[in-house]
Chains A and B, each alone.
Chain A
Amino acid sequence: MSFKKSPFTFSLLCFGFAFLYIPIFLLMFYSFNYSKVVPVWGGFSVRWYVELFQSEEIWSAVGLSLQIAIMNATFATMLGALAGIAMARIKRFRGRTLFSGMISAPLVMPEVITGLSLLLLFITMAEIIGWPSRGITTITIAHITFSLAYVAVIVQSRLVGVDESLEEAALDLGAKPYRVLIDVTVPLLAPALAAGWLLAFTLSLDDLVIASFVSGPGANTLPMLIYSRVKLGLKPDVNALATIIILIVAIGVCVAGWILSRQEKQRMADMQMAEAEKYDFSDEPQSSR
């Protein structure tokens, strides 16, 4: 790293990253504290992890949260991909401004407003058509609604960077529009779709406010459970749970990032190879890799 030119910038960066990471590391550190009082060190121990694994309440919350997160990520990715494709590829249609507003607004909308408005909608719907009952369904619908906006933005910015001529060529060669979507656009979008799915998954796992608004009796997601415990003060078992969650997420993000960047490199190499083959008229057929 070449920071020699400005030690000033380097020290600013160090302070910045220390600020970002020290609280997380301290949180993890205290999860191995034997003492019941969090900031008082009582020796190394894994007792909070043991207690955590024996807690039925936590396991059922984890199960519910994962179930919602997976459903949410899958539906949000499909809907968000369609929205992103519409925004990037269809330049003009009626109500486009409203559409783009509805995609970018959920990204900044205060959670209390989204939560309140969705709950009032669900109650009104339940009164009129008798569906949905509050719980896992309503939380999932609420999560899909804000996650799809994130996916749409990722997909849209990816498509802007991809040449439209591939899709046009396929259409010219007689491919049906839906085959073009499945055979050309979706593979081009694969990294964006994977990133969008992961983001939607974690956004859902992380949401407290919207879930507390739209949830019904008995449906406690993991963040709701953590929140109710945190409200009672510092809890070492929450630290242990936090450590596990943070480690899983960190490893997941790093692995996903590594796979995606490798695929991207592979794709670039393939493209270059294809470019090279195009101008290569020698008799020997080139091996593709």
Chain B
Amino acid sequence: MKAEENHGNTKKFGMVIDLDVCTGCGSCMVACMAENNVPFRKDESDKLKSITWMRVYKLSNGKPYPETDICYLPRPCQHCEGHDGHSPCVSVCPATATDYDMQTGIVSQIYTRCFGCRYCMAACPYHARYFNWYDPVWPDGMEQYLNPDVSVRMRGVVEKCSFCIQRYQAAKDRAFMEGKTDIEESDYQTACTQACPAGAITFGDLNNPAHAVYKLKKQPNAFRLLERLGTNPKIYYLSSREWVRRAGDNYLKNEGPAKIG
């Protein structure tokens, strides 16, 4: 628990995703692609080459009918804090292209600084990082639809979910104009959170007791992916089904799901 709280008074943005509510529709993935100018190719079937900052995985309990059960698991960047901000990818980056910000808890990726060694991709246990194997090619006229607040990436650099940092910047700017010093919970919400028709994703400041995520992450059904690795991620998942909670890590038969913290 101590590692969780070491941000002090600063913000620590995070997400709680309710897997019992998620229908696997993929709206979050579409919203993310559109918001963040994520490039796509004609043939997206090769998942080693396609880029999806937000990716919905399908889990199955592997049992035959009638016990068969499936669960959809949306996976954005987990924005690991590790210990004192030493998340797996930040620790290995030789170019200082990726960084952990103690003010927001967001793992940043600076595309112009990245030279594409892909150490971070090897280090990331969540496969949340993607490499641009090609320069983006937009269909005719689609340049007009690109989000001007997100820079388009070039071939040879790594990219990943940024928690829609441009929306945080915009929220801060609005607050400055209104003479406020801080932003409200509703001022800054990621594209995937807003796009989810089932309301499975909740986004906010994990350090702020007034935010919904603060209470949700403390629910007994909450778990994080690969808890025992010590990556200290900021994406919490909720599920009432035990096999789903067990799927969050490689547990042995005699082990129960690990406690958060």
> Do A and B associate with each other?
no
Q: Which A residues fall within an 8 A CB radius of B?
A: none
